[in-house]
């Protein structure tokens, strides 16, 4: 319920902090100077009241938590404590990357740290009310084309922002496109592109030694280890997501439970039927435009795709004009 405060049942997590009692008598604190010199470090002690688990994956959980110091709810992402070092580093890196973003279609990262008791990494983000696009598709809801265009245009705005900063998301899919509402005018839909856990920086020339992402949405060049790829891989994944959102079926629906190797082969070698083949008859210009958006975004050769997110956004806007 909006505006609720956690009661006695809420579990409290203290991060990074220290135990309240170490078995030693309390020592009087030295007075804090009113003027602090440049270069002095200020330590902080953060407390969150954990309210409920709102998501769980193979590497950790996401909780709704209450920040009593700021009087607000946050999303607390907690990594499992037994994760290998490379996963912990990637988690920290995700937090640092996202914390430096400032865009209405990207979530704000508020803080990061580790739990004192077991060393588990955590980060807090703005708490979003709504649901992801994947859940909408699962429920079999038909999304009107104008709303679909709005959802994907805002997602492309987020991609344009990160791509100009040499960041590739690498995991664009309906589950990571979150639909919420403007806090002042609930009629306004706001899209947030979430989960930068496997994102890649092109600026630092990171090696792609491991395949990372969802095989159902990966671009062909992303399915091969050590194969270079760029921001156009995100546009391919968005095209796959557009097909699924438009038709209610994934392009590889019949093979969705196939082994990962088979899904990766499909991404490299097979072209799915155009989305119009799964839709009711419509105006020819609209049908052609829908098929063209998908075909261009999901071309096997990156050189034949949209050059960038802005170009794909313009194509999306033409759908709105036709609709």
Integer-rounded Cα radius of gyration of the chain:
22
Residue 69 vs residues 45, 66, 74, 121: alpha-carbon distances, Å: 10, 9, 12, 21
Q: Measuring CA to CA, which residue among 174, 226, 156, 165 is closest to residue 199?
A: 165
The whole-angstrom distance between residue 273's C-alpha and the CA centroid of its chain comes to: 28
Question: How many residues would you count in the chain?
Answer: 323
- Catalytic residue status for 288: no
Exposed, middle or buried by CB within 10 Å (0-12, 13-18, 19+), for 177? buried
Give the contacts of 17 (CB within 8 A, at least 6 positions apart). 45, 46, 47, 116
Residue in 49, 67, 171, 234 annotated catalytic:
171
Cα distance between residue 245 and residue 240, in whole Å:
9
Burial (0-12, 13-18, 19+ Cβ within 10 Å), 126: middle
- List the structure tokens of 321: 């004009």
Given a contact cutoff of 8 angstroms between Cβ atoms, the answer to whether 52 and 64 are in contact is: yes
Angle at 259 between CA 258 and CA 263, to 5 degrees: 70
Contact 294, 277 (CB under 8 A): no
The dihedrals phi and psi of 171, each to the nearest 5 degrees, come to -150, 40
> Which residues are designated catalytic?
171
């Amino acid at each position: 319920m909006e505006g609720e405060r956690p009661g006695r049942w809420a579990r409290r997590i203290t991060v990074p902090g220290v135990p309240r009692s170490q078995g030693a008598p309390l020592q009087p604190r030295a007075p804090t100077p009113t003027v602090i010199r440049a270069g002095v470090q200020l330590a902080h002690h953060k407390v969150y009241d954990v309210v409920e688990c709102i998501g769980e994956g193979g590497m950790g959980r996401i909780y709704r938590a209450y920040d009593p110091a700021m009087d607000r709810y946050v999303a607390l992402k907690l990594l499992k404590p037994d994760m290998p070092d490379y996963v912990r580093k990637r988690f920290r890196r995700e937090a640092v990357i996202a914390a430096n973003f400032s865009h209405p279609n990207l979530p704000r990262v508020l803080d990061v740290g580790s739990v004192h008791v077991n060393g588990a990494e955590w980060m807090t983000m703005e708490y979003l009310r709504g649901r992801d696009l994947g859940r909408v598709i699962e429920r079999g809801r038909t999304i009107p084309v104008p709303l679909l265009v709005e959802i994907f245009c805002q997602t492309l705005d987020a991609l344009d922002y990160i791509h100009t900063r040499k960041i590739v998301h690498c995991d664009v899919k309906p589950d990571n496109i979150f639909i919420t509402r403007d806090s002042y005018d609930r009629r306004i839909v706001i899209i947030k592109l979430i989960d930068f856990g496997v994102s890649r920086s092109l600026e630092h020339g990171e090696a792609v030694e491991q395949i990372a992402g969802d095989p159902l949405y990966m671009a062909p060049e992303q399915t091969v280890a050590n194969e270079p790829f760029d921001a156009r891989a995100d546009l391919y994944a968005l095209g796959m997501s557009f097909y699924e959102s438009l038709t209610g079926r994934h392009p590889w629906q019949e093979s969705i439970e196939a082994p990962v190797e088979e899904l990766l082969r499909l991404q490299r070698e097979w072209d799915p039927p155009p989305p119009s083949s799964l839709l009711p008859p419509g105006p020819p210009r609209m049908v052609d435009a829908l098929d063209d958006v998908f075909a261009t975004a999901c071309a096997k050769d990156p050189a034949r795709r949209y050059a960038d997110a802005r170009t794909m956004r313009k194509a999306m806007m033409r759908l709105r004009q036709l609709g």
